[in-house]
Every structure is written in C-alpha cells, then in structure tokens.
Amino acid sequence: MIRPLSRISAIFFKELAQLRRDRMTFGMVIMIPLIQLILFGYAINTNVRDIPIAVVDHSQTGLSRTLIQIVEATTVVEVTERLVSVQEAEEAIRSARVRAAFILPDDLSQRIARSPAVGLGTPPSTDEETSRPVAQWIVDGSDTMIAGAIKGLRSMPLDELFRQAPNRSTPTFEVALFFNPEQRTAINIVPGLVGIILTMTMIMFTSAAIVRERERGNMEMLINTPVRPIELMIGKIIPYIFIGLLQAVIVLGLGHALFNVPFGNQMLDLFVGTLLFIGASLSLGLVLSTIAKSQLQATQMTVFVLLPSILLSGFMFPYEGMPVIAQYIAEVFPATHFMRMIRGFVLRDATLLDLYRDVIWMFGFFIIGMLIAALRFKKKLD
C-alpha cells in the first residue's frame, strides 16, 4: 500500500514541477476563467444603451431640441450625427455609422398642439390629424435587440412636458424597421455565424502550423531550403483560404435555402470582405504559432484569443451595449469588423466604400500580422 502511494506522490510532484516550468500553461489556467468572469460580468450586457443615432430635425425649433434632449435622457440612444435629409439618414444606417435615425417633421409644433391637454377635460379626438405620431424612427432592423430597444421608445410618455394625454391611443413615435421588418432572428444570426465559424477554424488551423513543423522534425529541412520566411507564411495560408471560402459558401447557401436569408446584391463586395477576414484570421493564427512552443500551447492560446473575439464581436450581444473600454478591446479583433461588414453586405446592401474603415483595418491587420509572423520565424531561425 505504501509503494503505490509513493509512486503516485512522485508522479504528483513531477507534474507540479512541470507545470511550474510551463509558465504558458499555468498562465492560461489563471487567465481563461478570469477573462470569462470579466467578459460576462462586466463587458457583456443585454440591456442596450447609448445606441448611436442620427437626428434629422426638419422643425428646427426649441420644441424639437427639447424633444431630442428628452429622448437622449433615456440613455437608450446617443446622438452622434445631425443630418439634413432622410436620404442621408438612410445612407448612415446602411454604412453602419448609426443604428437608427430620429426624424422630426416640420409640423412638429402643430402635431403636439393637436394632442388633448391633460386636466382640461378634453376627450381624445378621433380626428386623423390628431392621431398622427409626433415623430418617426427609422431603425436598422437587422439586429433584433437594437430594434427592440428603440421600439421600446414608441409609446414614450411626454405628458409632463407637452401636456399630452396619457390615454392617447396613437403611439408617440412611429417606428419603421429597415432590412428585417419581420424581426426574424435567423436574418441576424446566419451572416454572423460565418464570422464565428471562420474565426474558430482559421485561427485554429494555423495556430499550430509552425510549431507542428518543429515537433515533426521538419524545421531543419525548412532552414536548409531557400524559402524565405514570408514565402513560407504565404504558402501556409493559401490552402486554408480556399477552405474558408468553402465554409462561407456552405453557411450562406444553407442559410438562404433553409431560412430564406438574403444574399444581398453586393456579391463581389461580400467575396472581397470575406477574403480579407480569412487572411486577417490566418495571419493571427500564424503569429500565435510563432509564439507557442508546442501544439498544446498553441491550442491554449487559440482558446485565449477566441473567447473575447467571439463574445465581443457583436454576434450574441450588441456591441453598443458594451462599456467603452470593452468596445476598444473589441475593435482589435478581426471578427468585430467582419461582423459589421458581412451583415452590411448581406442585409443592408452596403458596399466596400460604405464600410471602408473596416476594410482598411482588416487589410492592415493582415499585412501587419504576416510581417510579424515572418519576422518572428526568421528570428527563431537565427
């Protein structure tokens, strides 16, 4: 009985010593639960706040400015742009600069004046003019949580300021949902699922690409060949580019066939955007592969990157609902930019020019990632 216990204890202390030497694994043991706790407890928030909106004020009166302030005071929305026409507002929504537009008509004062006054004993009128909403919302309906938050303002009470009757039968604001008026969840989920699948597979495939060559004993052969580090990196990712494109076609094709998710009219833009995202994800995987010393470490680092990349991308939880610090962190990951791009291409018929900021960032991430991977590989060869 003593001998088995001594052998078990010897193995136990040996594993502790190995874990102490393997700082990467020990760090992952601590950091993964810590990051999940911070993400779910602090960054992830289903109560959407500070949704960026545009205001089109045709009234240009003190009354309209007061109404805008009242709407902003709800903290549900935040005015980030002031435009002069509805067409400009629609373009801002299409390019994802804002998620909704608040349209105030030129006869705003007359609409409010026709509302029955509180406490004067005036019964609600059935006149068509009286029943008109005070203003209108144009909302990006492709995100059901964003649309639901703004729809909550439809019957916003204004009786304290405008003496509007609380039993008014007509909603205070009219809400028009663009791109997904039926509020179907699949319309929002399927395009985003392309980004999630590509993030998982592309980073996972290439995160072990270099370290696998070392473990298989192929590194010496690579050193003796005239292949340059950047050529090696490009050759490593080319097969996975075709795999990624095939995955995107499968998800979007089945999404269209099974859930009637539209492809959009910007097929070339969709192809280029997907290609950029695949390249950015593969370059990130190569950087991780040059850092890891074993395939186990590469897998651990992949999980470490995937968790915040997926949770902060806006796939499951609205990007606008996150704290500002979490939004800054989310902007680092390619998945956040691709989530905006693919939903824009598929659902809003946005173009590469509309989303040029995300396109430039994705291309820059790819170039910098490839250069870092090539330089680190070259340094290791030396």
- 32 band by pLDDT with thresholds 50, 70 and 90: confident
Question: Is the pTM value of this prediction over 0.75?
Answer: yes
Task: List every span in the chain annotated with CATH 3.40.1710.
Answer: 51-178
Interatomic CA distance for residues 140 and 60, integer angstroms: 25
CA atoms within a 13 Å half-sphere pointing along the CA-CB vector of 28: 17
Tokens of 191: 């395009």
Between CA 128 and CA 258 the distance in angstroms is: 43
Comparing 120-134, 188-202, 259-273, 299-313, the range with the smallest average pLDDT is: 120-134
Q: What's the helix, strand, coil split of the chain in %, to 5?
A: 60, 10, 30
In 3-state terms, what secondary structure has residue 97? coil
The SS3 call for residue 245 is: helix
How many whole angstroms separate alpha carbon 150 and alpha carbon 100?
Answer: 8
Mean pLDDT, the chain, whole residue set: 84
> For residue 79, what are the β-bridge partners?
53
Quick one: pLDDT at residue 2?
67
Q: Is the pLDDT of residue 323 over 90?
A: no
Alpha carbons within 13 A on the beta-carbon side of 75? 4
Portion of the chain with pLDDT greater than 90, in percent: 43
Question: Predicted confidence band at 131 (pLDDT cuts at 50, 70, 90)?
Answer: low
Interval 43-58 mean pLDDT:
86
d(CA 144, CA 29): 36
Q: How is domain 51-178 classified at the CATH fold level?
A: abc type-2 transporter like fold (3.40.1710)
d(CA 65, CA 57): 8
pLDDT at residue number 281: 95
Per-residue pLDDT at 71 = 92
* Confidence category of residue 24, pLDDT binned at 50, 70, 90: low
Q: Tokens in use for 121?
A: 């004993």
Among 165, 156, 175, residue whose Cα is nearest residue 131: 165
- In the 8-state DSSP scheme, what is residue 101? E
The answer to whether the beta carbons of residues 371 and 279 sit under 8 Å apart is: no
Q: What is the mean pLDDT of residues 141-161?
A: 82
In the sheet that 51-57 helps form, which strands lie side by side, from edge to edge?
77-83, 51-57, 100-104, 135-140, 173-178
165 with 117: CB under 8 angstroms? yes
HEC string for 176-237: EEECCCCCCHHHHHHHHHHHHHHHHHHHHHHHCHHHHHHHCCCHHHHHHCCCCHHHHHHHHH
